[in-house]
Amino acid sequence: MGKKALYGLLTLLLARCLLAQVRFDLNLKKIQEEASQLAPCSPWKNQPFLCYLIPALSPIRRLPDALPSDGIIDNKLWLVGAKGEFLTGSFLLAPWKEVRQLEVKASSLTRKNEPGEKTNQIIPAQNVDIRVVKVWWQTGTGWGSYFGDPTRRQLIPELLLHDENLIKVDLEKKENYLRVDYPKASQYVWISAPPEVDDGKFNHHQEPVEDSPHLLSVKLQPGENKQFWLTIKVPEKTVSGIYEGKINLVADSLPAGTIAIQLKVLPFCLPEPRTYYDVKKPFYSFMYNHCSLFTHLAENHGNRPLAEQKLRSELKNMREHNLFQYLQRSVRLFNTQNKEIFVRNLELVKEAGFSPPLFDAFVSSGSFWFPPEQTEIYQQYLKDASEALRLIKKILGHREVYFFGFDEPGRKILLAERQGWKDLEVLGARIFSTARTTSHFPLVGYAEHFVNCPENKRESAEKWHILGHKIASYAVPHTGPENPDLVRRMHGLVLYKANFDGTGNYKYYDQHKIWNDFASYQFRGFNMVYPTRTGVIDTIQWEGFRAGIDDIRYATVLKTLAEKAIASERVEAVYTGKKALIWLEMLDEAKTDLDAARLEMVEYILRLRKLLGEKE
Amino acid sequence: MKQLGRYLFWGWFLTSSWVFAQNYQQLIRSAEINLRKKEYSGAKEAAHQAREKAQTEEEKQAATLVIAKVLTEMGQKEEAKKEYQKILQSSISTVSQQAEALMGLAKILREERRYESAREYLARIFSLTVDEKIKNKALTDFLFTWSESENLAGLKEAVENLSQRKQADWPNYQVHLFTEAGRILSSYRDWTVRDYKTSRRYYRQILSLPGVSSEVLLNAWLAIAGSYVAEGHLPAARKALSEALHLKELQPLHKATILREMAKTFTGENDYQSAREALFRALQLERLTDGTKGNILAEIANSFYKEGNLEKMAETVAQLLKLSGANDRDKINQLLLLGNLHWEKKDYQAAAQTYGQVLQVRNAGKNDKQEAYNRMAQVYLLMREIAKARACLEEMGKLPDLTEEQKILLSLKIAGTYGAEDNWQEMEKIIKGVEKENKQLLTAQLIETFWKAGQFFMNSRDYPVVEAFLKRANWFRASSLKEYLCRFVPQAPVGVGGWVQSELVKDKKNREARFYNYDIKSAALLLATDVSAQRPFPEEPTKEKRGETAFYMCYDRQGWHIYVQSDEPRIEQITLENGRGASSLEMFFMPGENKEYYYQWIIKLATGEVNVYNYHSPHRYFHPLENTPGNFQTQTAVIPTGWGTTIFIPWECFYDCLPFLSGNETTWRFSMQRWDPAGNITWGGRVHETGRWGLIRWEIPPEQEKQNILRYLIRKAWYKYQASRDAAVDYWSCSERGDKEFYQHYLQPEITRLDLSGQQLTEIDTWPGEKLESFLKEIVPKWMEFTYQIEGLRKEYLSKKHFSGK
């Protein structure tokens, strides 16, 4: 390398370092200014950082060098939630001093007794999970889109980690590295290389990548904010009331303040979501995925225990994030895919506690793959379809299953599928197909019991409901955008209010580009979560998804109570029920602050419960 | 002198040989050789000369046949047909020559899609007394015309008719007929209409023919099984294979073939154990050659690989290597796979050794050795035995017949090994040498070679080396983005007509037409997979001339105006056909260079249909575009040269990031694509590729005009706030619908504060620029986003209520 080039390179590196430093210097100045204005009694007065309480599921991208415009410097975190619900909260520490080891630990939460009460109710500390929000480099379109754009890099908060060092982020070079813990030594693997040198393939089935099961100590640098994510699982049998606990912060072995948690547990559980247009009909939530024993065994050279451990953990994670239905990748014929594995997969699905129906499971495009005039193989296909129905009934205890058609079929394929659909209907199976309302409804709508459309408008839903059929939504947008508010909104109240029957988005995690967001010019990784060898790592958008479905569950409680109130024939209750329905209908779900909408729903629910004399 | 004499002798000899070579035989041979080499002009000339020098009529006919073939290949079909006709009309031509001429004519007719006529010619061959091979070929071509004309029903009818014919001089006529017809039906290019059932019926008819050999029967059974496999019906395939096993007079090799096919059906079911059982049975057969045994062992090894069973795979591969007569391809493939399995299990030493064994295989070719050296080098790099890695690459360099590109890549890889041991100076030296020596290389080739070198070191996780190669490649890449200056005008033209007549369009400096072809492949992929965007379906590109596309921009007090002129030579036809085949425009922008969000819209020119996409969720700091009056507006109209489209976006959407105010980003990213059957174009990058879009720079307006814009926006905000406020008061202060407590304690005080700010507006016309700017920054967001403000207050009120004991 010539001297000039070397000097040039050094200058560039220095400039980069300085730029990164300047970025944090500016933020540091702001932190110091804020700190200097703290009241003498502020709990953060003499601590090495300021603590901002912030809305967790915000559309605002939280960056390490920007103080939150919607944050409040405080030490009281207020949460409101139902029994059995997963609640999220968040705080951001803005350090003005280096902390090499910050320990963050939550206590259990104890119920504040009413005068005269002597209960000893607690929510144990293990139900309170704290994780660091890892900010890393993603493509230029990362916050709001699933389209690939490796030509630009921006910092995006995304991963929820117990061990922040699982990912190393190089701010100067704008690169990400993933730690792989090999038996001999750990190694950081470059996961932000451009598509010219990396196709993003990474065998998560075999590479030893795991997050820590609990929060490890974190490091704070002056001027570099760090966001923390709190998840509280309220046990279903918790007695309602206010629970108090705290989060203790210890900086380099010295107490560095506490954050009080005030949790109001509401006197009801959330039911499974139901549709807006008919509170008796379920709103389905499922997601395309590659999580099956078939896939895991194929990728891990047939390691059955590992495959089952991984699948169990994924199914649990899906259930805990409000996927109530399971989409099991379909089998075409039992002779090419082992029946025993099909059965075992179903057993694990049952164990995870999914509700009916089962989606996919067996292809419904049989007459396309095996034209009926090919009698022998087509009859075999129908026989296997029938066998699949029998096995589903035997293992899951129901026959509610939608067999999946050809994905995004064109006209020719659709026409070829019709005979098979007819024959399957005779067998008692129902058909599930990706569709566009404009083209499918007039052509084959009569046979498609459940369509999954890249749409979210009421006009679409109305058409399918005329036939008594159901419509779910995908691809508006696909998974990938990290903005949790967008994910919450688009999978939640937007679909609900559009009278859709469910959400069935693509997909849980990408099977091609797992960790490298820059590995393609076409699409980013379709990741709600990131797969590890034995499980998954959550993201803030995945938490957004859970909240979106919870919004629908709250709306379901609200609508159920409103209808009950209207049926009570007591004017006060009738009026309140109708007011609640008017409010819900007038709510602009595309634009509203969803946290505000949630609290408003709770307000109506409590009012209606009181009027109806509902007991806990 | 002796040397000179030798040269002179050979010179004379070769020249005279050429002269002597000009007799018929050599000319006709030369023509045939050139024809095979696809050097048609040479072939044509030689064949013509041969015909001139032909001594007999037969020779003349032979030359004519070659001329006809050459003309066919050159696409001179009419001339070719005439030559073929000469042969057919000649009484001298042999029957074989006539058959070839008929076949040649049929070929041309098939290319012209005149299948019926082609079949007539081919059918004439059936009754000629020629070699059976020629007849078989004619029959195959005859049957294939039905496939080419996408008429499988016609084929089946033809087979029924043909099967009735007696062909005494054509012993295997029916075998060939059913075999070929079955093959066409079960491998038809549109797999959705393949007819496996009928193909099997044909194969079964072979089984019932009298006097056919056991080999023919075996092939029929294998074809039946193959058809079941293609259909996915593996147990049925196995059943057919079991039948085949019962054939009489089967040779061990035949039995082995059947068992191997059977194993494949088990593998298709992931039943590797049963597959191996079948293969072990095959292995036990007597009198198998080493080659067949090797095939079988390779298949067994492969099944162990799929199960990740390293130990068993290694044992099997060892057995395979011991078979001296086994196929080297089997040995090489299995060694490479075994090496990969060692690599997966992180046993790099064993991986390197296994790859190294490839080099010992007797007939390992250049590509095999390259593959082995590459992988060895990579595992040595992983082991940090860099000298060994380099040695592998250097050995690879000694392989004969490496192409220039391979040599360059190899040099870069060797350079990279120095980088891997931190000897960057040496790496740089080698790279510079490579660049100097290969100046003839196109920039794109050089860049690609750097990338390939980078990929090599990605596998060995030598990231600094990869980065060095990427950096080097980037030096050669054009990185500048297009820019457009968006000027201020006091009043932008109104509507398409206004723009067409405007001075802005007449002034060429405002015209931006630097579009280039869109990367078709990736665009097609994206269009095919992006189901949510309402783009038109991709159409076959037409051969018609593409109209030019240009845009113009300006801004005024109200907002940003864009005018797109999409010239369209087919406009009359498109309008006649109600818009069929019309273009659409896809446009993107980001209000800054570093925002996390951007906007997109697609306009179908013929219908004016607009779809807007906002890549963010609405909140107080993000303002979605809505295709409604007062917000985002477009208009498309037919103009004399094609289409004119106007787009207007008001400043209200960007009051918090006005590009002409200090402190805000003054450059915005922008791009647009035109999707057109005559060819797609882009102004910058691909869709959603924000980093390759162009840049819009904003002219700073005169101070007075800037103030006017700010005053306009402040007033707009005030009116927007008043409307929101009145609605909020109406709702929340109402004890029936709203919440009086909330209204009194939270909302009303805020309204009082915001109203107070509004009182200042009476003097807004006198405010200096600084005051306008600070007011825009401090107060306007509160007014503009008052609805969100109310929600914030409501959230606070309700949260507190939960914990206040009320």
DSSP A547-597: HHHHHHHHHHHHHHHHHHHHHHT-HHHHHHHHHHHHHHHH--TTTS-HHHH
- Whether residues B615 and A144 touch (CB distance < 8 A) is answered with yes
Cβ neighbors of B743 (< 8 A, separation 6 or more) are: B729, B732, B733
Cβ neighbors of A84 (< 8 A, separation 6 or more) are: A234, A235, A236, A269, A270
Report the gap between the CA of A78 and the closest CA in chain B (Å): 7
Among B232, B308, B791, the residue with its CB nearest the CB of A302 is: B308
Q: How confident is the model at residue A137 (pLDDT cuts 50, 70, 90)?
A: very high
Is pLDDT larger for residue B479 or for residue A54? A54
Q: What is the pLDDT of residue A331?
A: 84
Going from the C-alpha of A128 to that of each of A92, A125, A231, the distances in angstroms are: 17, 5, 6
Q: Identify the residue whose tokens are 């709250």.
A: A554
Interface of B with A in 38-67 (CB under 8 A): none
Q: What is the pLDDT of residue B16?
A: 39
Q: How confident is the model at residue A8 (pLDDT cuts 50, 70, 90)?
A: low
Interface of A with B in 320-349 (CB under 8 A): 332-333, 335-338
Question: Looking at chain B, how many residues does it have?
Answer: 806
Report the gap between the CA of A384 and the closest CA in chain B (Å): 12
Residues of B in contact with A485 (CB under 8 A): 617, 619
- Whether residues A78 and B803 touch (CB distance < 8 A) is answered with yes
For the CA atoms of B590, B593, B595, B597, what is the dihedral angle to 10 degrees?
30
Question: Testing the interface with A: which of B233, B617, B790 to mutate, by most A Cβ within 10 A?
Answer: B617
Question: Testing the interface with B: which of A335, A524, A576 to mutate, by most B Cβ within 10 A?
Answer: A335
Residues of B in contact with A198 (CB under 8 A): 455, 458
Chain A CA closest to residue B693: A151
Among B621, B686, B799, the residue with its CB nearest the CB of A78 is: B799
Report the gap between the CA of A474 and the closest CA in chain B (Å): 9
Q: Is A302 on the interface with B (CB under 8 A)?
A: yes
Interface of B with A in 762-801 (CB under 8 A): 787-788, 791-792, 794-795, 798-799, 801
Q: What is the mean pLDDT of residues A96-107?
A: 97
Q: What's the DSSP call for residue A289?
A: -
Token output for B212: 């056919």
CA dist., res. A53 & res. B799, Å (int):
14
Q: Identify the residue whose tokens are 């600070």.
A: B774
Residues of A in contact with B799 (CB under 8 A): 78, 80, 599
Of chain B, the end-to-end C-alpha distance in Å amounts to 122
Q: Is B686 on the interface with A (CB under 8 A)?
A: yes
Residues of A in contact with B618 (CB under 8 A): 59, 590-591
Number of H helices, E strands in chain A: 14, 26
Beta-strand ranges (E) seen in B419-494 are 483-488
- Whether residues B788 and A593 touch (CB distance < 8 A) is answered with yes
CA dist., res. A210 & res. A536, Å (int):
8
CA dist., res. B341 & res. A66, Å (int):
48
Amino acid at B452: K
Q: What is the pLDDT of residue A10?
A: 63
Q: How confident is the model at residue A45 (pLDDT cuts 50, 70, 90)?
A: very high
Q: What is the mean pLDDT of residues A416-425?
A: 95
Bridge partner list, B324: none
Q: What is the mean pLDDT of residues A111-138?
A: 92
State how beta strands A502-505 and A470-473 pair. parallel
- Whether residues B617 and A190 touch (CB distance < 8 A) is answered with no
Q: Is B692 on the interface with A (CB under 8 A)?
A: yes
Residue range A196-219, pLDDT digits in tens:
999 999 999 999 999 999 999 999
Q: Is B698 on the interface with A (CB under 8 A)?
A: no
Chain A CA closest to residue B425: A1
Q: How confident is the model at residue A119 (pLDDT cuts 50, 70, 90)?
A: confident
Q: What is the pLDDT of residue B165?
A: 87
Q: What is the mean pLDDT of residues A422-430?
A: 94
Q: What is the pLDDT of residue B806?
A: 56
Residues of B in contact with A368 (CB under 8 A): 192
Q: What is the pLDDT of residue B566?
A: 97
Under DSSP, is residue B629 helix (H, G, I), strand (E, B) or coil? coil
Residue range B710-741, pLDDT digits in tens:
999 999 999 999 999 999 999 999 999 899 99
- Whether residues A521 and B451 touch (CB distance < 8 A) is answered with no
Do the Cβ atoms of A409 and A434 come closer than 8 Å? yes
Cβ neighbors of B334 (< 8 A, separation 6 or more) are: B297, B298, B301, B302, B313, B316, B317, B320
Among B306, B615, B795, the residue with its CB nearest the CB of A599 is: B795
Q: What is the pLDDT of residue B15?
A: 42
User: Whose CA is closest to B170, among B206, B131, B198?
Assistant: B131
Question: Looking at chain A, how many residues does it have?
Answer: 616
Q: What is the mean pLDDT of residues A236-260?
A: 97
Residue range A261-318, pLDDT digits in tens:
999 999 999 999 999 999 999 999 999 999 999 999 989 988 999 999 999 999 999 9
Tell me which H or E stretch contains B376: helix B366-382
Among A454, A590, A595, the residue with its CB nearest the CB of B795 is: A595
State how beta strands A186-190 and A109-111 pair. unpaired
Residues of A in contact with B622 (CB under 8 A): 59
Q: How confident is the model at residue A19 (pLDDT cuts 50, 70, 90)?
A: low
- Whether residues A187 and B461 touch (CB distance < 8 A) is answered with yes
Do the Cβ atoms of B484 and B563 come closer than 8 Å? no
Kindly give the parts of chain B with pLDDT less than 70: 1-21, 477-479, 520-544, 805-806
Under DSSP, is residue B441 helix (H, G, I), strand (E, B) or coil? coil
Is pLDDT larger for residue B698 or for residue A513? B698
Report the gap between the CA of A256 and the closest CA in chain B (Å): 26
Query: Each residue of B779-805: b (16+ CB within 10 Å) or e?
Result: bbbbbbbbbbbbbbbbbbbbbebbeee
- Whether residues A377 and B233 touch (CB distance < 8 A) is answered with yes
- Whether residues A197 and B455 touch (CB distance < 8 A) is answered with yes
- Whether residues A373 and B473 touch (CB distance < 8 A) is answered with no
Q: Is A274 on the interface with B (CB under 8 A)?
A: no
Report the gap between the CA of B670 and the closest CA in chain A (Å): 14
Q: State phi, psi for B298 to the nearest 5 degrees.
A: -60, -40
Question: Testing the interface with A: which of B342, B531, B806 to mutate, by most A Cβ within 10 A?
Answer: B531
- Whether residues B690 and A149 touch (CB distance < 8 A) is answered with yes
Question: Testing the interface with A: which of B156, B470, B802 to mutate, by most A Cβ within 10 A?
Answer: B802
Interface of A with B in 51-70 (CB under 8 A): 58-61, 69
Give B442-448 contacts, CB < 8 A, sequence gap 24+.
B443/B476, B445/B405, B446/B473, B446/B476, B447/B473, B447/B476, B447/B477
Q: Among residues of chain B, what percentage have pLDDT more than 70?
A: 93
Task: Output the pTM of the full model.
Answer: 0.88
Chain B CA closest to residue A265: B802
CA dist., res. B555 & res. A588, Å (int):
32
Among A59, A154, A454, the residue with its CB nearest the CB of B616 is: A59
Among A206, A371, A475, the residue with its CB nearest the CB of B344 is: A206
Neighbours of A4 (CB within 10 A): 8
Interface of B with A in 607-626 (CB under 8 A): 615-619, 621-622, 624
Chain B CA closest to residue A412: B192
Residues of B in contact with A302 (CB under 8 A): 306-308
Q: What is the pLDDT of residue B522?
A: 54
Q: What is the mean pLDDT of residues A554-564?
A: 98
Beta-strand ranges (E) seen in A55-116 are 72-73, 76-83, 86-95, 99-106, 109-111
Reduced 3-state DSSP string for B588-624:
EEECCCCCCCCEEEEEECCCCCEEEEECCCCECCECC
Q: Is A416 on the interface with B (CB under 8 A)?
A: yes
CA dist., res. A244 & res. A258, Å (int):
13
Among A80, A197, A489, the residue with its CB nearest the CB of B454 is: A197
